[in-house]
Amino acid sequence: MSGNIDTGVGVKVRARPLSAKERVLTLDVLRGFALFGIMFINVYAFFNPDPRAWFSVPWSNIGPAEYSYEVFKIFFVQGKFYTLFAFLFGLGFAVQLASAERRGGSFALRFLWRMVILWLIGAVHLLFIWDGDILHSYAAAGLLLLVCFAIKRLVLDKLVNRFSATRDKAPRWLMLVVAALLVFGPQINFGRVVYQQTQIMKAHEAGQSLTTQQQVIVDRNLKLGDPARAEQHQKSIDKTGVVFKEGSYVDTVNHRITHSSKRLLPGMFWVTLCGIFLVGAYFGRNEFIERAAQLRGGFVKLAIAALVIGVPTSLLFVYAYTAKPADGGIFWFWLTFISKSSSALAFALMYVSIITLSMLTPAKRWLLHLAPVGRMALSNYLIQSIIGTIVFYGFGLGLMSNIGILIQVGFVVVLFSLQIVFSRWWLARFRFGLVEWLWRSLTYLKLQPFRVKISNPAMAEKLV
């Protein structure tokens, strides 16, 4: 792939990454904040030996302090921060698209190649570092995002040109309509399926005659509740715990390849992520963050609206998680699913609004400590995984166990604080994080400038 991109009208422009002047500092702060929240969730997965039951907290066996902490985490953190990060991903897509349009270029092939590289990074992370990777899902959802914009340009914009004499593009609010369909459409359909299956099971229990297809559904649901299946699942959990707690690095990699590689295949989660990307892209296309000073009132209204929606849906999420019976069926799964997605998107938008507004106040001086971490968020995300597995897994320090609140919080705060210091030191000497630099260099098939040309790194640290 060459260093030039075709504009689609016979003109080629030089492809290049965004310069430092094109960055929005608030976005770096938001990325750093999102990474901090993601780490609060991931620390549970580092010491929990079963990656498929990361959040199956034994509610009846923990004290009031632990219970309160877990409820706090579910209400304010769980699902909210990967959603915030996905929102920023979509916003970044729109920024890159706008930059290419200003240069008269199209970046479709470049972005496609960029997502392929991100997927490969995610696959390496999932199989060889930690099986909680989300990068491969972001990459796949990024391809869906590209498809959405291609459809918009090929279909919607042409329809507008044909039937409207006043506009030459489809209205941008259509992105929010499509985003809502992608985020909630599959969940609403899942709810329909849950209702139908519930009615079929009631008919079965009442002894009513069933069709062949209905009987298949009954047999499948009965199989899910089979005690033998639960016992087999527990044995799988125990085996996973032994491998992660006591196994060598080779043992853990073999286990991931056997049990986690299937997660690299398409899944409905990718569709949901694409919907969140579109919300971020809507913000990016309208330059809301860049124009925050002129849109203070709008961000205040958004924060209030997000709070009004987010609090009740997050309370429902807490209830679904803590009150579901041990043999909770598919209805409880659906209730948890939809309340999590609704509250996550609302809280993510609330966090965006609050931090964006705070960046216009004296609080900015404190929030800026997050910016260096956000500028190299990809590298810091992978560093967290490397350190987390070394500390907790058997091939490292072997501290994997049901650790207490203080150790969880202490690990997150200490590691993230070190990342703030390290990121400032690194960016005073280098333009990008190491993985960001590699990603950019592979994207443009050319080594990007890496070192910062400055004679006094100590002074540069003050400027980061």
The most distant pair of C-alpha atoms in the chain lies apart, rounded to whole Å, by 83
Is residue 6 within a helix (H) or strand (E), and if so which, with residue range? strand 4-6
| Contact call for residues 148 and 178 (beta carbons, < 8 A) | yes
**Exposed (0-12), middle (13-18) or buried (19+): which is 287, by Cβ within 10 Å?**
middle
- Please tell me the distance from the alpha carbon of residue 226 to that of residue 339, in angstroms, as a whole number: 27
- One pLDDT digit (tens) per residue for the chain, 464 residues: 334 433 333 334 344 454 444 458 999 999 999 999 999 989 888 887 664 454 556 666 677 888 888 889 999 999 999 999 999 999 999 988 888 877 776 678 889 999 999 999 999 999 999 988 999 999 999 999 999 888 877 777 666 666 665 565 666 777 888 888 888 888 888 888 878 888 888 888 888 888 888 888 888 877 766 666 666 666 766 777 788 888 999 999 999 999 888 888 878 888 999 999 999 999 998 999 999 999 999 999 999 999 999 999 999 999 888 877 655 567 777 888 889 999 999 999 999 999 999 999 999 999 999 999 999 999 999 999 999 999 999 999 988 876 788 888 999 999 999 999 999 999 999 999 999 999 999 998 999 999 987 656 555 555 56
SS3 291: coil
SS3 5: strand
Number of domains in the chain: 1
Long-range CB contacts (within 8 A, 24+) of 223-230? 225/327, 225/329
Query: Which residues span the domain enclosing 359?
Result: 4-463
Q: Alpha-carbon torsion 137, 139, 145, 147, what sign?
A: negative
